[in-house]
Structure 1
Amino acid sequence: MLQRPATVVLSALALSGALVCALARAADAPVIGLITKTETNPFFVKMKEGAVAEAKKLGAKLLATAAKADGDNAGQVTALENLVAAGAKTILIAPNNAQAIVPAIKKARASGVMVIALDSPTDPMDAADALFATDNYKAGELIGLYAKAAMAGKKPVIAMLDLYPGHPVGAQRHNGFLKGFGLPTLEADSNELARPPEVVCMADSFGDRTKGQTAMENCLQKNPDINLLYTINEPAAAGAHKALKAAGKEKNMLIVSVDGGCAGIADVGRGVIAATSQQYPLRMAAMGVAAGVEYAKTGKKASGYTDTGVTLIAAEPQAGVDSQDVKTGASLCWGKK
């Protein structure tokens, strides 16, 4: 009955076109999945943060999920299956179990999904298309070198709070520490833990503060003369320090660790930890998302191992050992700029 003004018609057409373009962009956005070991560990919180930021920057759709706890392989298998069903063409995963996750990864890859391991390798490593991770053996070596220099010829009585049996990252850090300290050890491709005579106690901490405290209490019962402590990560170190303080032994203990999170660097500044090897989970995730977008655009898959970097952070530098100070560590903690 009434003729619409031309301007209204054009506006409607313009709006319709914009909506179609927006929907097309959303449909074309590559879907990338992220599976971490847990949702609560600050390391994996930072990893997710890096993935979210990079996905937003590159116009990708990120679907993030996690297992229930460290060691939960079944949860990660389910997550892999769900992400494939949701249309993810790249899946980034920090494996809880390097071997048990392999069949699920093979199934995903067979369907055309690129799978990139973050932080921890699969076993075998080539079960995934690529690995973006810290050189964990080097991370162990760095704190071993530091501990050797800081002990200044004092006879070492060593306790080692590890991750859990068979985990490649735990083995690499453990054996790398021994190499850096100059003790008999195993090479980076071993999942076994070397134990020279200087190591009087080894215990699994699962990278957990409470378990680290219990493990240290047990080690002190075995040998109250322990003067050097290696821990798999900084939460385990914090728990161990609580046990040492309760026993009145914290002042005579040199603690070295790995991770370089903001809380861990603060502990270096407070003298709880003497030195830590800082790694960069935000960088791992961002690189993984970028590789996923590249795969979606060009079909080119990432491959092999990419070292995402490691830096020794120490409050008190040691002669002949390259390290950065606490201020630097705090400015870079886990990839923060």
Structure 2
Amino acid sequence: MVAAVAAVGLLGACGSDDDAPAETDGGEATSEGDVTVGLITKTETNPFFVTMRTVATDYAQEQGVGLTALAGEFDGDNEGQVQAMENLISQGVDGIMITPNNSSGVLGAIEQARSQGIVVIALDTATDPEDAVDATFATDNFEAGRLQGAYVRAVLGDEEPRLIMLDGTAGGTVDTFRHDGFLEGFGLEEGDPAILGMENTQGDQNTAQTAMENLLQRSPDVNAVYTINEPAARGAYAAIEARGLTDQVTIGSIDGGCEGVQDVADGKYAATVMQFPAEMVRQGIDAIVEAAGGGEAPSGFVDTGSVVITDNPIEGIESEDTAWGLENCWG
């Protein structure tokens, strides 16, 4: 159930595999060092988590830290992540960084790890409760959603909104925060008739495209689309383009990957909200190294930031252009 993966290479301008460690027989991305760290991502395919693994591998080697990287097989693979946690506990690592598929589904494994003195840090996705881990290094996802919503609504101006929402995975903390944040920024409440339809996409491009195609059958007059992430936005755009509606619909997204920023530059989305997964990983490794050396253990929530990326700035919403975005994508 666990896809144990090697850190992979170049993703846009986000990282390099020149120094990636050799893959072991078990498929784990590993490097050696006095301090040992495990990284568990949601999947091995989503570009966001690919970047995390790439950065973690490079940074661990720079710092002389041993790294084992594992992942679930698919978005929502809670059982796979639990097995990955148990694997790392048995290895006796000093710390584990995890992007939980389910905010409460890995609590037992996390408790087991912490009871053995292993520092556990949530990346990108908070646990429920948040203090189940030592610390969380992540985007303020409610704020990221709010920024997307405020920007998309501002683009519509005086036009009455007709909104479609492409969510991620039902019940996920990130999904809930972004969804709710978007509605607040957009100025709508759940159940408002201006929301023409909603579908879960698991953050997957093909699933999102199919969902958007189905929603367009019922609501061809849509003029605004919320997307949970950039793969979902690409799927939405493909469906909208096929229907010849690109001039009618404003798409917003969240991620800030290099490909996503280029999509904004090319006019596919009005804006994306950039996150900084590389910063999450670096800060997480630094915190584990400090704790392993007898320093203070990490604690609480650390916001690693978010920035609106667009080439059409709107007064009252702070943003950077796509040139800045391409220089800083997923840094």
1:94 aligns with 2:99: yes
Distance 2:276 2:158 in 1: 32
Shift of 1:27: 8.8
Amino acid corresponding to residue 291 of structure 1 in structure 2: A
Q: Which residue among 44, 47, 57 is the counterpart of 2:49?
A: 44
Distance 1:126 1:198 in 2: 37
Distance 1:49 1:303 in 2: 25
1:206 aligns with 2:206: no
Matches within 5 A, 1:24-35: 29-35=34-40
Shift of 1:93: 0.3
Shift of 1:70: 0.7
Q: 1:144-164 CA distances to partner (integer Å, 9 max, x unpaired)?
A: 111121111100000000001
Q: Is the 8 A contact 1:312 1:324 kept in 2?
A: yes
- The residue aligned with 2:237 is 241
**Paired residues, what number?**
301
Q: Is the 8 A contact 1:94 1:118 kept in 2?
A: yes
1:257 aligns with 2:253: yes
Distance 1:27 1:217 in 2: 48
Provide the identity percentage: 48
- The residue aligned with 2:329 is 333
Distance 1:92 1:218 in 2: 37
Mark the CA change 1:197 to 1:52 in structure 2 (over 3 Å): closer, same or farther.
Answer: same
Shift of 1:198: 1.3
Distance 2:67 2:100 in 1: 18
Shift of 1:53: 2.4
The structure where helix makes up a greater share of residues is 1
Shift of 1:317: 1.0
Q: Which residue among 165, 170, 175 is the counterpart of 1:170?
A: 175
- The residue aligned with 2:65 is 60
Shift of 1:299: 4.7
Distance 1:169 1:89 in 2: 27
Distance 2:103 2:252 in 1: 26
- The residue aligned with 1:266 is 262
- The residue aligned with 1:10 is none
Matches within 5 A, 1:146-185: 146-184=151-189
1:312 aligns with 2:330: no
Q: 1:141-185 CA distances to partner (integer Å, 9 max, x unpaired)?
A: 11111112111110000000000111110111111111111223x
Distance 1:195 1:165 in 2: 17
Shift of 1:57: 2.3
Q: Is the 8 A contact 1:98 1:167 kept in 2?
A: yes
Distance 2:237 2:128 in 1: 33
Distance 2:165 2:156 in 1: 16
Matches within 5 A, 1:123-134: 123-134=128-139
User: Which sections of structure 1, spanning at least 5 residues, go unmatched?
Assistant: 1-25, 185-193
Q: Is the 8 A contact 1:158 1:227 kept in 2?
A: yes
Distance 1:215 1:32 in 2: 38
Mark the CA change 1:198 to 1:27 in structure 2 (over 3 Å): closer, same or farther.
Answer: closer
Distance 1:27 1:157 in 2: 53
Shift of 1:50: 2.0
- The residue aligned with 2:124 is 119
Distance 1:307 1:196 in 2: 31
Q: 1:244-282 CA distances to partner (integer Å, 9 max, x unpaired)?
A: 111111221000000000110010011101001000111
TM-score normalised by structure 1 residue count? 0.87
- The residue aligned with 1:215 is 211
Shift of 1:28: 6.9
**Structure of greater Rg:** 1
Mark the CA change 1:226 to 1:40 in structure 2 (over 3 Å): closer, same or farther.
Answer: same
Distance 2:130 2:78 in 1: 17
Q: Is the 8 A contact 2:32 2:64 kept in 1?
A: no
